[in-house]
Amino acid sequence: MICIIDYGAGNLHSVKKAFDFIGVPAKVTDSPSEIRDADKLLVPGVGAFGKGMEALRRQGFTDAILGHVEKGRHILGICLGMQLFLTDSVEMGDNNGLDLIPGHVLRFDSAQAKVPQIGWNSLDFQRESPLFAGISPGTYFYFVHSYFCEPNDEEATVATASYAGRNFCAAIEKNGIFAIQFHPEKSASNGLKVLENFAKL
């Protein structure tokens, strides 16, 4: 069973519907006790980094997430969920994250391009990952974000994309931790394939 964490950050029900569509059992939960026995966790998210972390702490999810990862179980972060996995973010001040992946969340340079990035963008794979099995390099996915992740360990990045005059980390894999900046639930058949691949891990 995949548990989708409900911490009030949006888009979780569309993710649940995507799993339903591909026939993968998944449930939305706002209870930390329910995720302790989950095979896999998914942290979705649309919104601000600081408010997202505040909600995770307030609802008691941070310890449950860290415990899940310490057990070696898989976890996937989507969009804001990906960013929350890093050490900190500059969004609306300095905010500490879960620190599952050492690194920082930075803002795109609005002098280089319109911010946020909204729309389809292609991926450049840096190495193989089971999350992208069956997906060709250059495949397009749907992005909506003003901030991007910059892991300290370059090996954690499995895919990049280009926007606002720079290449940025679009997907992470490290020690059973997976994260993607794009929205698979809005990325048609290729997005569904990513979710299916995560379910099969």
Helix orientation angle between 188-200 and 12-21, rounded to the nearest 10 degrees: 80
pTM of the model: 0.96
**Catalytic status, residue 79:** yes
**Catalytic status, residue 183:** yes
pLDDT digits (tens, 9 = 90+) for 98-155: 999 999 999 999 999 999 999 999 999 999 999 999 999 999 999 999 999 999 999 9
Q: Which of 3, 68, 74, 79 is catalytic?
A: 79
pLDDT digits (tens, 9 = 90+) for 92-103: 888 999 999 999
pLDDT digits (tens, 9 = 90+) for 75-86: 999 999 999 999
What is the set of domains in the chain, with CATH numbers?
2-200 (3.40.50.880)
Q: How far apart are CA 97 and CA 88, in angstroms?
A: 5
Q: How many C-alpha atoms does 35 have within 13 Å on its Cβ side?
A: 31
**Catalytic status, residue 104:** no
